[in-house]
Structures are given as structure tokens and as C-alpha cells.
Amino acid sequence: MINPLPIKLIVVPAFILSALTLGAGPSLAAGSHGGGHGKEAKESGHMQGGHMKDNHMKGGHMKGGHGHDFDFGEPGKASEVSRTVEIVMKENFYEPEEIEVKAGETIRFKITNKGELVHEFNLGTSAMHAVHQKEMMMMVDHGVLEADKINHHMMKMDMGGGKTMEHDDPNSVLLEPGKSGEIIWKFSKTAGLDFACNVPGHYDAGMMGDIHFK
């Protein structure tokens, strides 16, 4: 298992060059990698860290998300809160793991991390969670996020173009063990809305919950 890597490092650039020259498409490239697609993607992501970062920035960063509209509602006003829902986070689940809301309702979520690892409560669709999981992985890669702590000072680091890794979206809260936070959210009826923890590995371990509309 030691040999394949050096061989691949030589073969891949040569292949890409010939593919470009011949105008051969991605189908050829995909075919050459056989079943190892997931692994390949991961490896190339690591080798081309700078490239990954560029994609990330274009994709709308955490900070950049501020102005944009959420199609499942909007940050709520404290004066319009109709009730409070308490959520406890542990490894790797929520209590409760289902909540019911009414369209138009404004809810205050009081979230407490009673686990031993950093956890997140993030309201969104599965597509949004998938994007956020990549951002979280980037935070881990940069040492901003550790298993049981958040290096807050590093979140302010300029990643280029004034972008930072600050985790301050209105639809989510990221908490260290023992910490509490809250979100006030006004819901509009949306299919496929749930809450999830996008700390690497946690969503895959089942750390998510359903939001049902009454």
C-alpha cells in the first residue's frame, strides 16, 4: 500500500495533460479512477488546500451569509416570541430530537451543550447542512475548531478578501461543552427543514432532529 501513491502522483498530471490536449472529457477521467472516487476526492482536496479555499469563498462564507434570505423563515424578534423550546446536546444527539412548530411562529431556542465535545444547533435544509459541514471541516483543518474547544481568537483571522471563519450565522449556534446559547427564529413552512450538528462526523453519527409543521 506504499507504492500506489508515488505512482499516482506521476501518472495523474500526465493524464490530465493528455486529456486537455485531446479534449477528452471528465467521463474518461472518472473511468480511470475506478471505484475509488470518494477517496480520490478527499486526497485531492487535501493536496490542493488552496484550491478548496477558493471554492469555499465563492460558495458564500459564514460571514457572507448575513445578508441573504433564508427560505424557511427569518431571525425572529424577541418581542414576538410565543414560546421557548429547550434543547440539550450530547454525544451525538439532541433532546428532544423532534420539534413541532406552526408556520409564522417565532420560537426562542435555548440550547445547552451537556456533552463533552463541541456541538452545534443549526436550523436548515439538508443541502445547507452539507455546505456547512465543509465549512466546519475547514475550521478543523485550520485549528479553529478542536474536538472539545473553539479557538475564538482564530475565527477573526483574515482568510483573504475580508472573509473570516467567524461562526455567527443567525440560524445556528456552536457551543463548547457546558455552554449555553440561544436562537430566536420565525418559521415559514418549508419541507425538509431540520436541525443538525455539522461538527465533522457528528451529522453522520446521527446528530440531527426533525422539525414538523402543525
What is the size of the binding site for Cu ion (CB under 5 A)? 5
Supply the minimum distance, in Å, between the C-beta of residue 31 and Cu ion. 38
> Between the CA of residue 17 and those of 13, 25, 29, what are the distances in Å?
6, 12, 11
H-state helical runs in the chain: 4-22, 26-32, 37-47, 49-58, 126-141, 152-155
Query: At residue 12, what is the residue type?
Result: V
Residue 98 backbone dihedrals phi, psi, to 5 degrees: -145, 140
Report if residue 207 touches Cu ion, rule: CB under 5 A: yes
Q: Which run of H or E residues covers position 194?
A: strand 193-196
Supply the minimum distance, in Å, between the C-beta of residue 103 and Cu ion. 28
Report if residue 202 touches Cu ion, rule: CB under 5 A: yes
Region of 9-17, 41-49, 178-186, 191-199 interacting with Cu ion (CB under 5 A): 191-199
Report if residue 199 touches Cu ion, rule: CB under 5 A: yes
In this structure, the chain runs to a length of 214
User: Pick from 119, 129, 167, 186: which binds Cu ion (CB under 5 A)?
Assistant: 119
Supply the minimum distance, in Å, between the C-beta of residue 155 and Cu ion. 18
Footprint of Cu ion on this chain (CB under 5 A)?
119, 197, 199, 202, 207
